[in-house]
A and B are shown apart, each in its own frame.
Chain A
Amino acid sequence: MRTALYGSKMADTATGGSGTRPGGKQASTPADNYYLARRRTLQVVVSSLLTEAGFESAEKAAVETLTEMLQSYISEMGRSAKSYCEHTARTQPTLSDIVVTLVEMGFNVETLPAYAKRSQRMVITAPPVTNQPVTPKALTAGQNKPHPSHIPSHFPEFPDPHTYIKTPTYREPVSDYQVLREKAASQRRDVERALTRFMAKTGETQSLFKDDVSTFPLIAARPFTVPYLTALLPSELEMQQMEETDSSEQDDQTDTENLPLHMSTDDSGPEKENASVLQQNTSLSGSRNGEENMIDNPYLRPVKKPKIRRKK
C-alpha cells in the first residue's frame, strides 16, 4: 500500500518534472514499482549528497536533473560492466569488471575506498522494495563474511568465500634450469604451432604434397603493397625486446623527437616568411642536440611563396 502511494507520488513528480512518462497514474505493474522505488532512492541519494555538499535547499527541477544524470551514469556503468563480463565469457560481473568500467569512464578508482569511508557520509535507508533474491542454499559453502561498517546492511551479502579466498599452495616452484628451458621451448613451440595451424586453417594455404593439404599446411604467400616495410622494420615484439635489453638507444630516441620538429618547421614554412624565426627554431633544436652551431640545411628552409612578377 505504502509503496503504491510512494509510487504514485513519484510518478506525479516524474510527469510533472519532465513530462516524459505518460500513464504514470496506472503505476500498478511490479516493474514500474521497482523503477519508481529506485528513482526515489536515487532522489534521496542526490538530496543527501547535496546536503553533504552544503546546500540547504534545492529546486525540484535541479534535483530531478541531477537524479537523471546519476541514473544514466549508473546505467552506463552497469551496461559497460555487463559488456566486460560477457567479453570474458561470464554472466556475473566481478569486481574487476566494475573497476575496468570505472577506469574506462574516467573515474579514479583509487579514491573510492577513502570516499566510502569518509566521516560525514550519510547512510541511506534501505529501499522499501526488498524482494531479495533467494540464494539456493545447496550451493552455499562456508561462512559468508559480514559487511564492513561502511557498507549498509541492506546491500547484498558477500559471495561464498571460495569465490575470492585464495588458498596458498606450498609446492616447490620449478627452478631447475633444464626443466625451465625445456618447458619454455615446448610451450613456445606449441603456441607457434597452434597459432600457425589456426592461421592456416582459417586462410588460404599451399601444400607441398598434392594429395595432402593438412599435414604440412603452408599459409599462402600473399604479396604486399609495400614489401620493404615489413621486411626492414623491426616487429613490435623486437622493438619491445630492444627497449628492455638496451638503454643506450635512449639517446637516439630523444633525437627522433627532434626530427618531427624539423619536419614541422618545414611544413609550416609557407606561413612564416620570416626566416629568422625559423633559424631561432632550428638553433633551438640544435642546442637541444647539444650542438653549438646552427643547422642551416637547404632542405629545412621554408618554401618560398611564388613571386608575382615571376613569369613562366
Chain B
Amino acid sequence: FHPSGKQGSKTMNRKKGDKGFEICINNINFQRKSVVGYVELTIFPTVANLNRIKLNSKQCRIYRVRVNDLEAAFIYNDPTLEVCHHESKQRNLNYFSNAYAAAVSAVDPDAGNGELCIKVPSELWKHVDELKVLKVHINFSLDQPKGGLHFVVPNMEGSMAERGAHVFSCGYQNSTRFWFPCVDSYSELCTWKLEYTVDAAMVAVSNGDLVETVYTHDMRKKTFHYMLTIPTAASNISLAIGPFEILVDPYMHEVTHFCLPQLLPLLKHTTSYLHEVFEFYEEILTCRYPYSCFKTVFIDEAYVEVAAYASMSIFSTNLLHSAMIIDETPLTRRCLAQALAQQFFGCFISRMSWSDEWVLKGISGYIYGLWMKKTFGVNEYRHWIKQELDQIVAYELKTGGVLLHPIFGGGKEKDNPASHLHFSIKHPHTLSWEYYTMFQCKAHLVMRLIENRISMEFMLQVFNKLLSLASTASSQKFQSHMWSQMLVSTSGFLKSISNVSGKDIQPLIKQWVDQSGVVKFYGSFAFNRKRNVLELEIKQDYTSPGTQKYVGPLKVTVQELDGSFNHTLQIEENSLKHDIPCHSKSRRNKKKKIPLMNGEEVDMDLSAMDADSPLLWIRIDPDMSVLRKVEFEQSDFMWQYQLRYERDVVAQEEAILALEKFPTPASRLALTDILEQEQCFYRVRMMACFCLAKIANSMVSTWTGPPAMKSLFTRMFCCKTCPNIVKTNNFMNFQSYFLQKTMPVAMALLRDVHNLCPKEVLMFILDLIKYNDNRKNKFSDNYYRAELIDALANSVTPAVSVNNEVRTLDNLNPDVRLILEEITRFLNMEKLLPSYRHTITVSCLKAIRVLQKNGHVPSDPALFKSYAEYGHFIDVRIAALDAVVDYTKVDRSYEELQWLLTMVQNDPVPYIRHKILDMLTKNPPFTKNMESPLCNEALVDQLWKLMNSGTSHDWRLRCGAVDLYFTLFGLSRPSCLPLPELGLVLNLKEKKAVLNPTIIPESVVNNQEPVNSTNNHGQSVGFQNTFSNSQEEEEIDMDTVHDSQAFIYHHLNMLERPSTPGMSKFIGKMICSMPLHSIKHLLTPPISVLSGKEQSSGEVNMHPVSAAPLSVFSKESNSSKHSDHHHHHHHEHKKKKKKHKHKHKHKHKHDSKEKEKDPFAFSNSPASARSIRSPSLSD
C-alpha cells in the first residue's frame, strides 16, 4: 500500500488548488517566544487512491489535523533531527554525509516526501476517488523556535513595542517548514491567504497585498489580512512582525519600507535610491514588476544581509546608513539591487527542481551585474567580474569543482557528480555555505558567457519571454495547468535561448553547466623576427583537481607599435603553439603615436622596448569569456606598458600583480605614475599602492629617496605650507578619499633593511592620526580613522624576544608604546562617541591581536571574549571572535575552543553561530594532517554531536559543522580516536567481511615474539626522532609500520581471552591476510573495526555501515594523502610510549573504559536495528 500512497501524495504535491493555502497565526508571544496558529490547505486529488498526504514540518507542535472536518491521524518523523542514530564509534564523515543526504531525501518535498504524514480518514476515500477537493486543517504551535523564525527581544524595561522586539522568518533555501506545516518546495505553487493577529502597537509584514487591518474585539490587538493571488511557492513565504516605523516610498507609493524604531531618518536616506533600481530592471526586462506591491523590512540579527521573498525582502538593519557614510552606501545599494533582481527571478519565477537553481541565480546575478555596470560604470563592473572570476577559479582549484547542473541518475553513488566533495550536492540543504556562494558566483558568470555568445539583446529577450509567459500564467486559474510556466527549468531556459537567438549554445552549456571545473592556461611567447611572427604557446593543466580541458576559440589581443589587434585562436587537443603574424615592423617611426584598442592614440616612451620586437604587450582572453586562470609570461617592460597604456582595468590589475615579481626602478616609476594619474580607476590605484610597497621592500637596499608613497601622499593630501600636516578632511571626491584611506595602510607595510617598519613611516602615520580634523567635512571619517589604525597594525613587526621573557610594560618597544597609546585612546573614545558600525573598535581589536601575535603584548583572549559577548554590535563581535579563533590556533587553547563551540550552540544570533564555524574552518586550530593536543576524542564526540543532532534547526549551521569536521579530521575516521581494540575489517565494496581461508589463527601467536622486539626497536627510534624534524620522521616508514603492527598484535593478544572462539578466529585470519600497507589502513577510519567482545555475533555490527560510503571509501584509502596521515598517527603513539613507558597499562585502562561503554552500545542495538529501516539509511 505504501508505494501507492506515496504516489498519491506526490501527485498531490504537483496539483494544489487555486484557493491554495491559508495561514492564520493568531497568537504571537514575544515573552515566551511562541506562536500559535493554524494552516488550511486545499488539495485537488489527481489520482484516485490518495490516502496519505505528506507535508513538511519541523519544530512545530501539531495539535490536531482535520481533513474536511474529520479528525485525521498523522505521523511525525523527521530523520534529519538525528542523522546517524546508532553509529557511535565510526565518526566517519563520509558515512555521515551519505546518511545526511539520505535523510534530507527522505523528507524532500520534490520527491513527494515530508516529515508529516497525514492519513486521509477512510470515510473520505470514496470522496477522493471521485477526485473531489480535500481541505486539510492543521492546528500547530511553535515554542522557542531555534530556526526558521527568529525572535529578537531586547532585555529591558517597557512593553514589547517600546523595546523594539520583533520576529521574522529566516533560513537558508526552503526553510518555511520551520514555522508552519507546508509543502516546502520551490516548485509547488499555490495562492495564499495570510492572517496575523499581533499587538496593536506592532505591524505584521508579509507577502502579497494587505487587504485590511482589523482590531480584535478587545481592541488590544489587530489582525493583518494578506492576500497573495500570484501563485507562489511556500518557500517564498515570509513574515516580519515588529513595532516598525513605516515609510511609503515617495516615488512609488506601492512600495513601503519598514525599519525598527528610531531609525526612520536612516531608512529614508537608504531607500531613497531604490526607485532607480526598479526603473532599471523594468526597462531592461521590458516588463513591469510582477507583484502589485513591494515591501522592504530592515531587521536586527539578520540571518543573511539580503533575503528575497514574494513581494517583500528582509534586510539586515545594519545596511541602513546616513548621508554622511561613504563606504556603506554602494554596498547597501548593491544589496537592494540584488534583492530586487531576485524578485523577478527567484520569487516570481521559481524553479522546477534544485538542479535548475543555477538558472535563477544566474539570471538574477546577471541582471544585477547589468545594473552594476550602469550604476557604477564599466570599470567597476569589469573589476567585479574579474574578482568573481578569480574567486570561483580559486575555489574550484581548491575543492575540485562547482557543478551548476547536477544530474542524478538512477544509480546513486556510482555517478555521484561531486565525489571530490565532502558533502552531497544533491540537495541544497547538504551544501557547504561557501560552495553555495561560489555556486551563485559561477551561475552569473556563466550567464555572462551565454550573453557573450548570443548577444545581450537576445539574452534580454529570453528573460522577457520567461517573464511574460509567467505573468500570463499567473493570472490563470489553477485548473488551466498553466502555472508550470512560472517554474523555470534548465531545458526550458535553453529551449528559450535557441528559439530566440537561433544559436546552439549546447557546447557552452556542456562545458560550464553540466560539468565542473575551470580552465588553467599557461602562456608564453617568442617573437620570430625573420618571419615577423609571434609564436604563442598556450598550455593547459587539466589534470589537477578542479580543472577541465578547454577546446574552442580563444581570443588573444596583441598590442603592437601600429595598433592593437585581436586574434581568435582555436584551442585544440594537441596544438600548443600558435603563430600570429605581426602587423608592424619593429621600431621604424620613432615619433609616431601609437593607436590603442579604444582608438585613442598616445605617445609612448619606447626606449624600454626590445628593439627587435614590435610587441608592446599581449593579453590572453581579455574579455574573460572563459572561466579560467591565465598565467602568462612576458617581460617586465611589457607589463609596465600594459599598466600604463592599456585602458582596461582588468589588464591594469593583471599588470600590477605581475609587476610584483619585477622589483626594478622602472616598475616603481610605472606604479607611481599610475598612482598619480587621476583618470585612472581608483581601485587600480589602490592596488598599485600595495604593489609599490612590495616592490619597495624587495628593493630595500637600493631604494633612493623618501619611503614609497610618502611624498605622493604629502603632495596630494597635505598642506602646501606645512607638509607634515594633513589637510582638514574633505571627502567630496570619493576617488581621492579611497586613495587617502589606502595609502597609509600600504605604506605601513614598508620595511627597512632590518625588516622593521621605518620610523619615518610610523611617525608619518601617527601624525596623520594626530592632525586628523573632520570638523569641516560633510562625511564621517570613521572608515578613514579605522584604516589609520589598520595602518598602525600593519607597521607592527615581530618583537625581538630574548629567552622567552615575559611581556611586560617595562620591556615594551617604544614604537609599540606609541601605537598602544593611540589604540587605547581610540578604543576608549569609541565608548563615548561611537563610530558608525563601530569600525574603529573593530580595527582596534584587530590591531591588539596583531600586537599579541607579534609578541609585544601578552597573548590573552580575555579582552576579545568580552567584546564577543551578545549585546555588542555584530561587526565588533565578529572581529573579537576572529581574534579568539586565532588565539585558539596559535596558543592551542582547548579552553577557548570549548568556549567557541559553546557559543556555536548557544548564541542567540544565528549569523554568529554560523560565522564562528566558518572562521574556525578558515583558520582551523589544527588540520587533519597535523598533530595537535587539541585533537582528542572528546572534541570528535562534541563536533559529531553538533552536526549529527545539535544543528538540526539550521541547515546552514549543520553544513558549517560538517565543513569544520572535514577540515579538522578529514573524510575518514579521525586519527585521534583511540584504536579500536578489535580489528574486524569489512570489505565495504561487497558489504561483508572477507576472510582469507588460507591463513590460520596460529600465525598470530607465532608472530608474537618478533613483534615485541620490533616494538622496542620502534621505541628507540622514536626517541631519536624527537630531535629531528618532522620531514625526517616521515621518511622512516618501516619503523612506523612495525610499530603499528606491534600495536595491533598486542591488542589481538588481549582479545584472545574472553571472546567467542569464532570471533577470535575470524580476526586472526583477517589480520594475517593483509599485506603491510593494509595493516596501516587497519588503523584508520575508512576501515570499520568493531569490537566483538560483548557482541554475540558479528551481524549486529554490520548494518551501521550502510551501502552509502562505498565509492569514496575505496578511493580515499588508496590516496597518498592518507598514508601521510598514518605516519603522523603512529608517531603519536610513539611519543605516548615514550612518555608513559607503560603503554600497555594505558591501553588496559582504555579497554576498561570501552567495556563500560559497550553495554550501552549493546542496549542500543534494537535502536540501531530500527535505523536500518529508517529512511536515512534505506531508500
Contact = CB atoms under 8 A, between A and B. Distances in A.
A261 to B, nearest CB: 12
A181 B248 contact: no
A242 B263 contact: no
A226 to B, nearest CB: 5
Interface string A161-196: 000000000000000011001101110010011011
B322 A231 contact: no
A245 B774 CA distance: 11
B156 A225 contact: yes
Given A209-B809, A252-B269, A256-B265, A232 B215 contact: no
B989 interface: no
B831 A215 contact: no
A303 B869 contact: no
B268 interface: yes
Given A185-B773, A225-B154, A263 B245 contact: yes
B1142 to A, nearest CB: 39
Contacts of B825: 189, 192-193, 196
B262 A229 contact: yes
A206 B862 CA distance: 9
A234 B777 CA distance: 14
Contact of A299 (B219, B256, B857): B256
Interface in A267-297: 270, 289, 291, 293, 295-297
Contacts of A212: 808-809
Contacts of B508: none
B873 A231 contact: yes
A208 B247 CA distance: 46
Among the interface residues B155, B209, B269, B832, which one has the most CB atoms of the partner chain A within 10 A? B832
A145 B559 CA distance: 92
B248 A216 contact: no
Given A225-B156, A225-B871, A298-B210, A293 B253 contact: yes
Given A178-B725, A232-B321, A242-B324, A210 B778 contact: no
A300 interface: yes
A38 interface: no
Contact of A208 (B245, B265, B858): B858
Given A223-B869, A227-B871, A234-B324, A303 B253 contact: no
A241 interface: yes
A219 to B, nearest CB: 5
B493 interface: no
A219 B248 contact: no
Contacts of A255: 250, 268
A306 B858 contact: no
Given A234-B324, A252-B269, A298-B210, A306 B248 contact: no
A185 B771 contact: yes
B616 to A, nearest CB: 47
Interface stretch (B172-180, B834-842, B971-979): B834-842
Contact of B773 (A184, A192, A289): A184
Interface in A207-242: 208-212, 215-235, 237-238, 241-242
A118 interface: no
Given A177-B719, A225-B871, A238-B780, A196 B832 contact: yes
B709 interface: no
Interface in B142-196: 154-156, 163-164
B219 A270 contact: yes
Interface string B803-829: 000011100000000001100110111
B801 to A, nearest CB: 16
Nearest to A189: B770
Nearest to A212: B809
B324 A304 contact: no
B833 A235 contact: yes
A249 interface: yes
A205 to B, nearest CB: 9
B834 A235 contact: yes
Contact of A181 (B209, B264, B722, B858): B722
A124 B1022 CA distance: 114
A232 B261 CA distance: 12
Nearest to B299: A228
Interface in B823-874: 824-825, 827-829, 831-834, 836-838, 848, 851, 857-858, 860, 862-863, 866-867, 869-874
Interface string A192-203: 110110011000
Interface in B745-792: 770-771, 773-778, 780
B881 to A, nearest CB: 13
Contact of A206 (B222, B321, B851, B866): B866
A209 B857 contact: yes
A246 interface: yes
A148 B210 CA distance: 76
Contacts of B468: none
Nearest to A220: B866
A9 interface: no
Among the interface residues A196, A211, A232, which one has the most CB atoms of the partner chain B within 10 A? A232
Nearest to A226: B154
Contacts of A293: 253
A50 B161 CA distance: 58
Nearest to A255: B268
Contacts of B212: 298, 301, 304
B848 A208 contact: yes
A196 B254 CA distance: 49
Contacts of A4: none
A209 B808 contact: yes
Interface in A86-101: none
A178 to B, nearest CB: 4
Interface in B721-740: 721-722, 725
Nearest to A245: B778
Contacts of B256: 297, 299
A218 B770 contact: no
Contact of A232 (B163, B222, B254, B836): B836
A160 to B, nearest CB: 41
A196 B829 contact: yes
A266 interface: yes
A259 interface: yes
B725 A252 contact: no
Contacts of B217: 306
Contacts of B324: 234, 238, 242
A306 B860 contact: no
Contacts of B211: 298
B775 A241 contact: yes
A225 B165 CA distance: 11
Contacts of A270: 215, 219
B323 interface: yes
Contacts of B265: 252, 256
A238 to B, nearest CB: 6
Nearest to A236: B833
B954 interface: no
B764 to A, nearest CB: 15
A305 B154 contact: no
A199 B828 contact: yes
B824 A218 contact: yes
Contacts of B318: 228, 231-232
Nearest to A235: B833
B155 A225 contact: yes
A262 interface: yes
B317 interface: yes
A293 B252 CA distance: 11
14 contacts: A196-B825, A196-B831, A209-B809, A225-B154, A228-B317, A230-B838, A232-B317, A232-B320, A233-B322, A234-B322, A245-B776, A256-B268, A295-B248, A298-B211
Given A221-B863, A228-B318, A238-B780, 15 more contacts: A184-B773, A193-B825, A212-B809, A219-B827, A222-B831, A226-B300, A227-B871, A228-B300, A231-B318, A231-B836, A233-B262, A245-B778, A249-B323, A298-B212, A305-B215
* Nearest 9 A/B pairs, CB to CB: A223-B871, A196-B828, A298-B210, A178-B722, A231-B873, A225-B156, A216-B824, A227-B873, A303-B213
